[in-house]
A and B are shown apart, each in its own frame.
Chain A
Amino acid sequence: MDGIPGPDEFRAQARSWLRTVAPARATHQEWGRGDDSVAVFENWTEDEERAHTERTRAWERTRHDQGWGALSWPAEYGGRELPAHYEQLYRAEESAFDVPRRTEIFPVTQQLVAPALRIWGTPEQKRRLLRPLLRTDELACQLFSETEAGSDLAAVRTRAVREDDGWRLNGHKIWTSGARVATWGVAVCRTDPEVPKHTGITVFLVRMDAPGVTVRPIRQMTGGSSFNEVYLDDVFVPDTDRLGPVGEGWRVALTVLAAERLDSGGLGLDNADRALDLARHLPRPLNDGERQQAADLFVRALVQRLIAVRVTSALAAGRAPGAEASVGKLHATATMRATTDLVQQLLGPRLAADTGEWGTFAWTEHLLGAPGYRIAGGSDEIQRNILAERVLRLPKEPKGAGR
């Protein structure tokens, strides 16, 4: 494929390719048909999670192998070096087709871990891992949080001690999304407990099937178990699986977290669109207050998309995006909340009791899942601290006792 197709041409190409590999989405043709799930986190058994992950993987491989994955990556990693926003163009087309919904592990692997590996990985690691990650042959989860290190991630205690040609890991990670299906974990570990907390950290790539790794699902408020706790008991990691220099792990983790903030800008948009469709199709006229509430959600979602366009615009022009790159996640969690509020108003009792009608009680999964994203990936409060301190340059939080 030589040259860069224009956006319209690209979209048309994407559409015609998609038609050859996937059926159209029923809800796009007719309201009231097809899958009515609006789950933010899936309520699956382990077997269902595995089966769905395999279906999604198969789709990601098809995409990758036929030149529609890794769009902005260089050819050596299976990409086409298209401008970053072509990914959004592609997604917009794909949303009209019935393809497997990506659970968290997929963006974590493709949008968070792969780019961090491209920045911090050795040439050997990039050769070995980038393509399998982009193709989702390998799936990576984030072994970041611990019971005593949540918002204050730099307080991690999981120890990594040097041993011959590798490291011995011991510790307990928690809230790990997708750990049951992941093949790799990106573990933030303490390698030097004697120095100030941010400087004694190193990041490792841990095989999830390595001896000593135990995954236990945690049931969350939605009823399902999309996150887990992970025990690391004397797990051996070869030094070739260390990501970034020893003692520089905090910067590696920040790279992942920054990508997560950026990636979060698109959260909640699909369900906001669904809620707006509900406002169109509800079998009664909306009163003025409800119309205003629906229009307000429309504006929120539009603004969230426009912010994302500004971010890509800056990136495409070779500039570092400014404040717009950091506000996206707070916009996204507010959109999710506003979606819940609108649906609550429109559905009334059908949100509280299941009448079996299409597209009604299913919204409880959004209602119960949405609060998770105000906590995951840096809570709303931590996002505000980041905006206040890094963008607005207000004074830092006073430090408490401890390191």
Chain B
Amino acid sequence: MFRLDADPALLRETEEQRQLRSVLREFLAQTCGPEEVRKQAGSPRGHDEVLWHRLAGEIGVHGLAVPEEYGGAGGTFAELAVAMEETGRVLCPAPLLSTVVLAGHTLLDSGDRRACARWLPGIADGTLTATVAGFPQPGGVTAERGAGGWVLRGGADFVPDGAGADLLLVVARAPDGERLFACEPDPATCERTARRVLDPTRRQALVRFRGAPAEPVGEPQRAPDTVAGVLDAARAALAAEHVGGSAHALDAVLAHVGQRTQFGRPIGSFQAVKHRLADLLVEVEGARSAAAYASACLAGRRTDELPVAASAAAVACTAAYRLATAEYVQLHGGIGFTWEHPAHLYLRRARADEALFGTGDDHRLRLAGLLGLTGRIG
């Protein structure tokens, strides 16, 4: 039976984390305001490469949770979660989730030291963007050993930042079962088609491999465990992002209802509005708690608790983000429904993200299985 260990130190933000948060918030306020986000949302690559390098170089975001031997700062997931929350707050369109969380953790969790040494330093210093294919959405990629080494064939869809990433970590069916491969895509053997997306700040692509050269990563039998662990880390990271986005929505609505007057009163003085914002605060604080717990499980390597914590965070945070973005639009009235207003960008992010690693209901089903909430079977 699952039992929460109530040691409060678990959820306490450290002084370093607080500092990181304030540095990042200030940095992003200057470099990644709504205009910049909108500009990048319409750009071909989808993010500003100068900002990407500054985030890596000046703040060291990419290497926060990368071990020192691979060029990182050797911190924990809790620091990375702070970065995800703050970038999520401004919808920073940098491919951190794909490069740092998905690809970075795949390399680390694969246990393949050679692969880590080869690519993690590039991820940590911002010179390499990377992503994963074949999961979370199952793909149809097969791997075969040719004369000149392994090659990949088949396709993977909905690949996050798939069109732009420099490195693809692919789950493919090899003769001896599912394995992980690393592929530096070359247009001659790897065709990448950017999909039209609901959330322009987070791109997706269809990737087709036509005999693309690739190298195996990690032991053959290890791929399923690696993928499972990476997905839970990604859920925790996304949960932190959702806390940031929800908190922004709440702040933006508070500012608006405080200054907009109708019927001779600020609309924020109407109880119908106040109570809805109180309910939103309740949801956001719940989401914050659940996200912090999932991060703490990763940071403290509490692997037994992680699947439950990650799915619980997904349930709490997707629900909060749904509510926050719906209220963001609604309580702004007509202006909230315009293309110019940023509210829809958050709503797009909230909904598109649910398609990445599972909706709240998907996670509820998973939790029921993990916790035995199934009644007596048979």
Q: Taking A298-B312, A306-B4, A392-B254 as given, write out 8 further A-B residue pairs in contact, using a Cβ cutoff of 8 Å, ordered by the A residue number.
A: A88-B6, A292-B364, A295-B364, A323-B281, A324-B289, A387-B282, A394-B273, A396-B269
Q: Contact residues of B with A, CB < 8 Å? A: 3-12, 254, 257-258, 265-266, 268-269, 271, 273-275, 277-279, 281-282, 285-286, 288-290, 292-293, 312, 315-316, 361, 363-369, 371-378
A287 to chain B, nearest CB (A): 9
CB neighbours (8 Å) of B273 from chain A are: 394
Known A85-B6, A388-B275; judge A295-B367 contact (CB<8 A): yes
> Which of A302, A305, A381 has the most chain B CB atoms inside 10 A of its CB?
A302
Please, which residues of chain A bring their CB within 8 A of the CB of B7?
A: 7, 85, 309
A332 to chain B, nearest CB (A): 11
Q: What's the tally of chain A residues with a CB closer than 8 Å to chain B?
A: 57
- Residue interface bits A288-301, CB-to-B below 8 A is 1, else 0: 10111111101100
A sample of 13 inter-chain contacts (CB < 8 A) reads: A283-B375, A285-B374, A286-B373, A292-B364, A295-B368, A327-B286, A383-B278, A384-B275, A384-B279, A388-B278, A393-B254, A394-B257, A394-B258
Counted as pairs of residues, one from A and one from B, with CB atoms less than 8 Å apart, the total is: 173
**In the bound complex, do residue A295 and residue B11 qualify as a contact, i.e. CB atoms below 8 Å apart?**
no
B interface: dominant SS: helix
Q: Is the CB of A375 closer than 8 A to any CB of chain B?
A: no
Residue contact B274 to A394, C-beta cutoff 8 Å? yes
Minimum-distance CB pairs A-B, first 5: A313-B8, A291-B368, A388-B274, A306-B289, A395-B269
Q: When chains A and B are docked, how far (Å) is the Cα of A284 from the Cα of B376?
A: 5
Query: Is A92 on the interface with B (CB-CB < 8 A)?
Result: yes
Q: Are A313 and B367 in contact (CB under 8 A)?
A: no
When distances are taken between beta carbons in the complex, the residues of chain B under 8 Å from A288 are 365
A195 within 8 A of B: no
B11 contacts A309, C-beta separation under 8 Å: yes
B-contacting residues of A (Cβ < 8 Å)?
7, 85, 88-89, 92, 276, 279-286, 288, 290-296, 298-299, 302-310, 312-313, 316-317, 323-324, 327, 330-331, 381, 383-385, 387-389, 391-398
Is the beta-carbon distance between B376 and A281 smaller than 8 angstroms? yes
Residues of A contacting B254 with CB < 8 Å? 392-394
Q: How far is the CA of A280 from the CA of B277 in the complex (A)?
A: 36
A394 vs B9: C-alpha distance when bound (angstroms): 32
Min CB–CB distance A301 → chain B (angstroms): 9
**Beta-carbon contact of A384 and B6 below 8 Å:** no
- Min CB–CB distance B345 → chain A (angstroms): 23
Q: Contact check, A295 vs B315: say whether CB atoms are below 8 A apart.
A: yes
Give the interface centre of A293, A310, A324 by most chain B CB atoms within 10 Å. Answer: A310
Contact A395:B275 (CB < 8 A) given known A286-B368, A286-B374, A298-B371: no
Q: Which residue of B lies closest to A386 (CB)?
A: B278
CA distance A282 to B369 in the complex (A): 15
Asked if residues A306 and B290 are in contact (CB atoms below 8 Å), the reply is yes
* Nearest-neighbor residue (CB-CB) of A325 within chain B: B285
In the assembled complex, which residues on chain A have CB atoms less than 8 Å from the CB atom of B274?
384-385, 388-389, 392, 394
**Whole-angstrom distance from the CB of A388 to the nearest CB of chain B?**
4
A324: chain B residues at CB < 8 Å are 285, 288-289
B257 / chain A contacts, CB cutoff of 8 Å: 394
